């Protein structure tokens, strides 16, 4: 049994841990509000972009010669996966959920005998993936310096993806990120961005006919790379909201657990203090009786 002094020290240390987790929860809550706001503000842009591309790809006359970013290279041998995680830990299952999703996808691809290339965004994902898939990681990008997700960073990632596509280094590109549903639930997502997957939206395309200036092909060629950056930016916004939400609930749990632990330790401390007093009393009484 731990001595009184040890117990006292442990209670103090748990209490100070609790203070830290509480503070982290507050910070995460404040950041969450901001991240959520910017995720919502960013939605119109990506929605509009999606609509325009949908209208364009319906209007395109020559499907055979459509830009490769839209129709694909016709192969599916080389898969590029962009795994987007955070740069900081202590956010519950946030990173490991993405990694889990990504890993199951990786093993599926590898078992089909296809080639795999990985780009990691955020240092946590890189840490976890380099043990198993170290030789597959071709690039690691981290935005530790930028405070919030910004479009400039997304454009950088988008540019890397597009350059690699132009050099025909891959056929299919998928991004992995957490979609923010609410503070407790974040859903890991795998979204294919190259070639553009229009299947689920095809039937509700508008029948409106557009005038194009210059022609469809040229607009599409200009637009598709932008769309990739936009999709990545959307993923980054969702991710940062998810990260804060996940951290908030993780820290909330930690704070509660620390509270329970303090209660338990305090009871134990009081019990052993009382036991010590009783023991001393018995000793004094039996000492007096024997006289």
Binding site for another protein (CB under 8 A): 38, 41-42, 44-46, 48-49, 51-52, 55-56, 150-151, 154-155, 208-214, 219, 222-223, 226, 230, 233
* Residue 91 designated active-site: yes
Closest approach of another protein to the CB of residue 28, in Å: 21
| 113 secondary structure, DSSP code | T
Of 48 and 256, which has the nearer Cβ to another protein?
48
Closest approach of another protein to the CB of residue 257, in Å: 37
User: Which two structure tokens, joined as six digits, stand for 95?
Assistant: 């990173």
Of 171 and 216, which has the nearer Cβ to another protein?
216
Residue 195 near residue 74, CB atoms below 8 Å: no
User: Which phi and psi angles does 150 have, rounded to 5°?
Assistant: -130, 160
Q: What per-residue string of b and e applies to 260-285 under the rule 16 or more CB within 10 Å gives b?
A: ebbeebeebbeeeeeeeeeeeeeeee
Closest approach of another protein to the CB of residue 50, in Å: 11
Helix (H) or strand (E) holding 172: strand 172-180
Closest approach of another protein to the CB of residue 239, in Å: 15
Of 13 and 41, which has the nearer Cβ to another protein?
41
Of 91, 129, 172, 265, the active-site residue reads 91
Closest approach of another protein to the CB of residue 163, in Å: 13
Of 127 and 155, which has the nearer Cβ to another protein?
155
Helix axes 94-111, 216-289, angle to 10 degrees: 130
Task: Strand 186-194: give its sheet, edge to edge.
Answer: 137-141, 115-121, 78-84, 172-180, 186-194
Residue 14 near residue 262, CB atoms below 8 Å: yes
Closest approach of another protein to the CB of residue 263, in Å: 46
Of 20 and 52, which has the nearer Cβ to another protein?
52
Of 53 and 129, which has the nearer Cβ to another protein?
53
Q: What per-residue string of b and e applies to 205-238 under the rule 16 or more CB within 10 Å gives b?
A: eeeeeeeeeeebbebbeebbbebbbbbbbbbbbb
Q: What per-residue string of b and e applies to 90-106 under the rule 16 or more CB within 10 Å gives b?
A: ebbebbbbbbebbbebb
Residue 191 near residue 175, CB atoms below 8 Å: yes
For the annotated catalytic residues, the residue numbers are 91
């Amino acid at each position: 049994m731990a001595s009184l002094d040890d117990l006292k020290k442990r209670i103090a240390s748990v209490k100070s841990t609790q203070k830290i987790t509480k503070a982290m929860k507050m910070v995460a809550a404040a950041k969450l509000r901001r991240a959520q706001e910017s995720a919502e503000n960013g939605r119109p842009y990506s929605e509009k972009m999606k609509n325009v591309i949908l209208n364009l790809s319906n209007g395109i006359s020559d499907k055979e010669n459509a830009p490769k970013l839209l129709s694909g290279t016709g192969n599916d041998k080389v898969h590029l996966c962009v795994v987007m995680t955070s740069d900081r830990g202590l956010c519950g299952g946030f990173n490991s959920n993405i990694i889990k999703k990504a890993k199951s996808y990786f093993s599926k691809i590898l078992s089909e005998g296809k080639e795999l290339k990985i780009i990691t965004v955020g240092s946590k994902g890189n840490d976890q993936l380099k043990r198993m898939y170290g030789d597959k990681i071709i690039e690691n990008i981290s935005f530790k310096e930028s405070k919030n997700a910004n479009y400039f960073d997304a454009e950088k990632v988008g540019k890397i993806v597009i350059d690699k596509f132009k050099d025909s280094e891959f056929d299919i590109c998928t991004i992995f990120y957490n979609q923010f549903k609410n503070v407790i639930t974040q859903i890991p997502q795998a979204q294919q961005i190259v070639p553009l997957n229009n299947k689920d939206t095809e039937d509700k395309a508008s029948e409106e006919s557009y005038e194009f200036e210059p022609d469809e092909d040229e607009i599409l060629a200009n637009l598709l790379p932008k769309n990739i950056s936009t999709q990545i930016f959307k993923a980054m916004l969702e991710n940062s909201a998810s990260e804060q939400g996940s951290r908030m609930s993780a820290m909330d749990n930690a704070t509660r657990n620390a509270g329970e632990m303090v209660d338990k330790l305090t009871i134990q401390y009081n019990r052993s203090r009382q036991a010590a007093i009783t023991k001393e009393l018995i000793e004094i009484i039996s000492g007096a009786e024997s006289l």
